[in-house]
């Protein structure tokens, strides 16, 4: 078991910063972090696949998609530096399968075993047991829709 030695303990008005001898840095803050969510709803799974395909970096043809609590979605950070503003693009539904091949010209997708073609976009379906950011986004979304 490795023990850590505190080499510096700095306290400021709203946070405590502890630097350990093994160069780990721990922040404890008294402020509550808030997450801001923006939402973009689509009519179909194919529409969300088209949107994600157009946002993908060039030469990247395998993208993640979440299927969680009755929503198919992707959460995109809008402010990567602070990490507190997110865009959730979503459609209500559920996806089965682990790897989906999407043909943007035909606007169709199907389950496949492997990503073989460079002219197709592939989506890896993630079905987490729990996802705290998604839970917060879904809570906010459901509050707004009622």
The verdict on 69 and 105 lying in the same domain is yes
Pairing of strands 71-77, 62-68: antiparallel
pLDDT at 96: 86
The verdict on 75 and 125 lying in the same domain is yes
The verdict on 46 and 111 lying in the same domain is yes
Identify which has the larger pLDDT, 17 or 121.
121
Q: What is the pLDDT of residues 57-77, one digit of tens each?
A: 777 789 999 999 999 999 988
The verdict on 102 and 133 lying in the same domain is yes
Between CA 89 and CA 77 the distance in angstroms is: 11
The verdict on 68 and 136 lying in the same domain is yes
How many domains are contained in the chain? 2
Residue position matching structure tokens 């979440």: 66
Query: With 0-12 CB in 10 A as exposed, 13-18 as middle and 19+ as buried, what is 88?
Result: buried
**How many Cβ atoms are within 10 Å of 18's Cβ, its own excluded?**
16
Q: What's the chain's average pLDDT?
A: 80
Closest CA to 104 of 59, 54, 40: 54
């Amino acid at each position: 078991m490795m023990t850590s030695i505190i080499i510096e303990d700095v306290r400021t008005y709203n946070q405590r910063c502890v630097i350990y001898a093994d160069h780990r840095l721990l922040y404890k803050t008294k402020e509550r972090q808030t997450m801001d969510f923006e939402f973009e709803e689509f009519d179909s799974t194919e529409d969300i696949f088209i949107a994600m395909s157009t946002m993908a970096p060039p030469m990247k043809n395998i993208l993640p998609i979440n299927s969680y609590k009755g929503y198919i979605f992707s959460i995109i950070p809008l402010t990567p530096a602070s990490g507190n503003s997110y865009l959730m693009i979503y459609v209500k539904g559920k996806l089965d399968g682990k790897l989906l091949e999407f043909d943007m010209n035909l606007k169709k997708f199907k389950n496949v075993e492997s990503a073989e073609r460079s002219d197709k976009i592939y989506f890896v379906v993630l079905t987490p047991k729990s996802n705290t950011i998604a839970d917060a986004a879904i809570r906010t979304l459901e509050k707004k829709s009622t």
